[in-house]
């Protein structure tokens, strides 16, 4: 057991229910231990959040919240190297990508402060009706109430910023439960918020002693808004159990499709596909997974992608030149290998990878034309595997791309405006990238999973809007 021990970040600490060991996912060595909390801890956190929200005179003003957020971003910049190393150690993300995540998270905290300046109320016209004459009506915004955020492991700092930052900006007390695999980045962010002047009760963090306790946290009637990032199975279950009146946003995943036009040179497509598919070992909810290319181009494209995959260094994520790190748990290595081998027992051809590299890593893998009913074709693999499928006409490829219960982000590679517009209008997706990979995003753009991929719209300004209510005030003269 590591000597680095972390307690919960509650306003009023309670006795722990147990202790969780946090491991480095590359070498499986313990790096820290974290207290877990049972229902008593959940009750303490929610009671604090509820009491703060009900005491309106204790609400922080918008300018106070903005200043706290800007000071937090400055402290994150000061600690950027420490935060990047923490992401790499607990989450297995290669250091170069962890540094990018920290930079994004810092910018995201600034974004949380900036939305306070740009999203005011509105006048509701009263002069259009004789019955409304002599009145002035306008809207203002108020915090929706206590927010509970349940987060995922794959971006252990930036996802927390996306869930906690808008709540702070909106003036909502927030209780966040990070992923059990990666709680340390969350705790670090909460500590920096408090260092910047946020009173402890406005942002609390805890790790529960099991899924039942996490469900109690999410479904308590005092929760006004649930922000969930994680598996569809858990997310839809929690939504079905929410208390009446609780709003929510769910972000799950998909099996992102890419449609390549016949006018493309593989050399112009492969770098983006490799980045979008193998970044963070494919553990991204909009990672490139299914690539559709014309029959004449598909195999040369797949071979070039295989060469790019074979050239990636898979190693310790703390090393500067590591391109692909570990899966979050050894069980994920076994699952991915099983999916790949099952596809190979069908008609799929293995062009690169296809094997575990030790207990914790999986070789970047390219499969050519796996069966349409294989799990690699129909479910989110959440690993470093890209499948390439030949097509005879674009509309049949679009139909195959759409033939899943998921719809999130998609991509098109083409030099033809007509092809781009035709495909973009027909792909089932909330966002379509043209000549870029499916995993591109900025943190202020809408980010929405459709169908089983999620509910609501992420992105900092959109989460901020979700965490506020609009109040109409009418004056009669």
Q: Considering only the C-alpha atoms of the chain, give the largest distance between any 2 of them, rounded to a whole number of Å.
A: 78
Active-site choice (172, 186, 248, 285) = 285
Which of these is catalytic: 90, 251, 332, 380? 251
Angle subtended at Cα 200 by Cα 8 and Cα 34, rounded to the nearest 5 degrees: 10
d(CA 362, CA 324): 9
**Distance between CA 383 and CA 376 in Å, rounded?**
10
Measured CA to CA, the distance from residue 106 to residue 130 in angstroms comes to 51
CA distances (Å), 300 to each of 288, 295, 347, 386, in order?
Answer: 18, 10, 18, 15
CB 157 within 8 A of CB 185: yes
Rounded CA separation 380/217 (Å): 27
Angle between helix 184-195 and helix 62-78 axes, rounded to 10 deg: 120
Residues 6 or more apart whose Cβ sits within 8 Å of residue 454: 232, 235, 249, 250, 251, 252, 408, 448
186 part of the active site: no
Record the tokens describing residue 47, joined without a space.
């009671």
Mark whether 285 is an active-site residue.
yes
Q: 437 near 395, Cβ under 8 Å?
A: no
Give the pairing of strands 256-260 and 247-251.
unpaired
Q: Answer yes or no: are the C-beta atoms of 454 and 235 closer than 8 Å.
A: yes
Of 378, 402, 368, 380, the closest CA to residue 259 belongs to 402
Catalytic residues: 251, 285
């Amino acid at each position: 057991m590591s000597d680095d021990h972390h307690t919960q970040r509650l306003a009023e600490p309670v006795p722990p229910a147990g202790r969780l060991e946090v491991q480095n996912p590359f070498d499986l060595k313990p790096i820290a231990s974290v207290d877990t909390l049972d229902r008593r801890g959940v009750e303490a956190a929610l009671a604090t959040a509820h009491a703060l929200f009900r005491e309106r005179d204790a609400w922080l003003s918008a300018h106070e919240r903005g200043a706290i957020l800007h000071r937090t971003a400055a402290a994150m910049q000061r600690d950027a190297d420490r935060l990047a190393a923490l992401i790499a150690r607990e989450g297995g993300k290669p250091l170069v990508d962890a540094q990018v995540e920290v930079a994004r998270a810092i910018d995201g905290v600034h974004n949380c402060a900036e939305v306070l300046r740009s999203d005011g109320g509105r006048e509701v016209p009263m002069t259009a009706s004789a019955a409304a004459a002599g009145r002035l009506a306008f809207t203002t915004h108020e915090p929706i109430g206590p927010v509970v955020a349940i987060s995922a492991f794959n971006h252990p700092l930036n996802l927390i910023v996306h869930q906690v930052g808008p709540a702070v900006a909106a003036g909502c007390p927030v209780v966040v439960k990070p992923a059990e695999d990666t709680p340390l980045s969350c705790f670090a962010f909460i500590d920096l918020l408090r260092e910047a002047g946020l009173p402890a009760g406005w942002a609390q963090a805890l790790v529960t002693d099991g899924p039942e306790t996490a469900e109690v946290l999410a479904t308590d009637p005092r929760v006004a808004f649930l922000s969930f990032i994680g598996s569809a199975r858990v997310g839809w279950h929690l939504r079905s159990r929410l208390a009446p009146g609780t709003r929510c946003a769910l972000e799950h995943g998909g099996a992102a499709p890419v449609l390549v036009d016949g006018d493309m040179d593989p050399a112009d497509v492969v770098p983006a596909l490799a980045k979008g598919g193998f970044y963070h070992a494919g553990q991204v909810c909009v990672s490139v997974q299914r690539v559709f290319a014309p029959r004449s181009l598909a195999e040369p494209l797949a071979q070039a992608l295989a060469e790019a995959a074979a050239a990636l260094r898979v190693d310790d994520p703390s090393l500067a030149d590591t391109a692909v790190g570990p899966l979050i748990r050894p069980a994920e290595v076994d699952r991915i290998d099983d999916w790949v081998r099952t596809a190979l027992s069908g008609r799929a051809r293995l062009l690169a990878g296809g094997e575990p590299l030790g207990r914790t890593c999986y070789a970047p893998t390219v499969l050519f034309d796996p069966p349409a009913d294989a799990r690699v074709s129909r479910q989110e693999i959440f690993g470093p595997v890209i499948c390439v499928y030949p097509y005879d006409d674009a509309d049949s490829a679009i139909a195959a791309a759409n033939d899943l219960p998921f719809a999130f982000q998609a991509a098109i590679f083409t030099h033809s405006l007509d092809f781009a517009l035709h495909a973009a209008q027909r792909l089932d997706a909330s966002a379509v990238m043209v000549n870029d990979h499916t995993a591109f995003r900025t943190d202020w753009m809408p980010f929405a999973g459709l169908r089983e991929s999620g509910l609501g719209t992420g992105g900092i300004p959109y989460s901020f809007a979700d965490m506020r209510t609009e109040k109409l005030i009418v004056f009669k003269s």
